[in-house]
Chain A
Amino acid sequence: MRLTGKMPVPQKEKMNATFYISAAVAVLSTILVIVSRRAVHALLYFIVSLLAVAAMFYVMGAPFVAMLQVIIYAGAIMVLFLFVMMMINLGVDVRGPEQAWLRPSRLAGPAVLAGVLVAELVYVLAAGWKHSAAPVEVPPEQVGLAAFGPYVLGVELASLLLLAGLVGTYHLARGRREDKSPKEEQPR
């Protein structure tokens, strides 16, 4: 357990400012998620929201969870969303609209919000804060010890849940392929 409470107070207050800026970015981008017209735009804003929440995790002394948020949530799960959107778009001829959706002007909003987060990141790195502002940062070792100590039953249940999800997804995807073949023979 690292003690990082030795830093001077002004730095901590600046670190607090990064928390509130990240919170503002998260709330703003989440609002933009639910008012977006196109699902792709909503997805871009939601990724920004996830990154902002990851920054909040980091400031609150949970760097391991912040990494997980970026890698698993903003990485893997959002890529799943993106793939499904691409597969759905294949059915309709949307080549024209797609180019319009991805105009630079449509990307400006997420880019500006992500730029705020990048500015925070550069600021934190430039200030040389290796650890978060929380007096006691909970390290990954402690999380692992808790997960496989008192919460080992929960980990087993999570593995069961993952297996159920795998079987369920396989079943749904296989059923789709089976009744897809007779339909494709019909002229459209």
Chain B
Amino acid sequence: MTTVPMMHAMIVAAILLGLGLTGLLVRRNIMFTLLSIEIMLNGAGLAFIAAAAHWKQADGQVMYLFIITMAAVEVAVGLALVLQMYHHLRTLDLDAASSMKG
């Protein structure tokens, strides 16, 4: 049994996830949107590591490796899209990119 209870780490992970979701919903700057997604991924990774520590297995850490890979790819593509958007619209406001709005 670990000294840190899994539930406490899970609570912290849930708080991070909630903060990321809040930022995603509240902020309209696309850089903050990307950062909020990163916060949520970080919270998910924390949950995996807490589970791995609780069951003393390496599986959760492997899942964290996959999460960090996915985060890197998402950031690369997302930032390329940010540059495209800034080039076309000269703003970082997400509401400006609404030409596909129904």
**Which A residues lie at the B interface, using CB under 8 A?**
12-13, 15-16, 19-20, 23, 26-27, 30-31, 33-34, 39, 42-43, 46, 49-50, 53, 56-57, 59-62, 64-65, 68-69, 72-73, 76-77, 80-81, 84-85, 87-88, 91, 133-136, 138, 142-143, 145-147, 151, 154, 158, 161-162, 164-166, 168-169, 172-173, 175-176, 180
> Do B31 and A39 touch across chains, with their CB atoms under 8 A apart?
yes
What is the CB-to-nearest-CB distance from B55 to chain A, in angstroms, rounded to a whole number?
Answer: 10
What is the CB-to-nearest-CB distance from A42 to chain B, in angstroms, rounded to a whole number?
Answer: 6
* A6 and B6 alpha carbons, distance in the complex (Å): 21
> Do B77 and A169 touch across chains, with their CB atoms under 8 A apart?
yes
* A88 and B45 alpha carbons, distance in the complex (Å): 30
B residues contacting the other copy or chain, number (CB 8 A):
59
Secondary structure at the B interface, as helix, strand, loop or mixed, is helix
B15-57, CB under 8 A of A: which get 1 and which 0? 1100110110011010110111011001001100110110011
- Interface positions, chain B 49-78, Cβ under 8 Å from A, are 49-50, 52-53, 56-59, 61-62, 64-66, 68-77
Name the residue of chain A whose CB is nearest to the CB of B21. Answer: A34
* A23 and B69 alpha carbons, distance in the complex (Å): 24
> Do B73 and A162 touch across chains, with their CB atoms under 8 A apart?
yes
Measured between beta carbons, the chain B residues less than 8 angstroms from A168 are: 77, 80
> Do B58 and A72 touch across chains, with their CB atoms under 8 A apart?
no
